[in-house]
Amino acid sequence: EVQLVESGGGLVQPGGSLRLSCAATGFTFSNYWMTWVRQAPGKGLEWVANIKEDVTEMRYVDSVKGRFTISRDNAKNSLYLQMNSLRAEDTAVYYCARDLVGSGTVFDYWGQGTLVTVSS
């Protein structure tokens, strides 16, 4: 059974940093693009970043470029999101998701999400 379990969320002050993790089980992690999608409280979905299975490609939404870094450790079956210079508008539930179609663009399995709150 495919499972994705996020961790690392919490309360952080504006300008602070946080590192999210996503532990993957039930599939060959190293064969899949992986993605982070976020959802602000009461709002819709926003794609944040994705990373190719061999780490040769990473893409970001403009609003997080230069502040967030997506990475992965295929030996540990884990996906990460390093978030620096956090802003109030980064407050959201962050989901990791697996790609279906081999291009990082359709998400067939999702974790349960981890809440990041940026507030003083």
Partner 1 sequence: EIVLTQSPATLSLSPGERATLSCRASQSVSSYLAWYQQKPGQAPRLLIYDASNRATGIPARFNGSGSGTDFTLTISSLEPEDFAIYYCQQRYNWPPLTFGGGTKVEIK
Selection from 13, 32, 9, 20 nearest residue 87 by Cα = 13
From residue 68 to residue 97, the character string flagging contacts with partner 1 as x (rule: CB under 8 A) and all else as - is ---------------------------x--
Contact 76, 84 (CB under 8 A): no
Q: How far is the CB of 42 from partner 1 (least distance, A)?
A: 11
Among 3, 31, 40, 45, binds partner 1 (CB under 8 A): 45
Pair of tokens at residue 43: 């709002």
Calpha distance 61→56 (Å, rounded): 17
- Is 28 one of the binding residues for partner 1 (CB under 8 A)? no
**Token pair 């620096």 in the structure block, residue:** 84
CA distance 5 to 67: 23
Q: Does 113 bind partner 1 (CB under 8 A)?
A: yes
Q: How far is the CB of 75 from partner 1 (least distance, A)?
A: 26
CA distance 90 to 15: 11
Q: Which of 111, 114, 116, 118 binds partner 1 (CB under 8 A)?
A: 111
Which residues contribute to the site for partner 1 (CB under 8 A)? 37, 44-47, 50, 59-62, 95, 100-101, 103, 105-108, 110-113
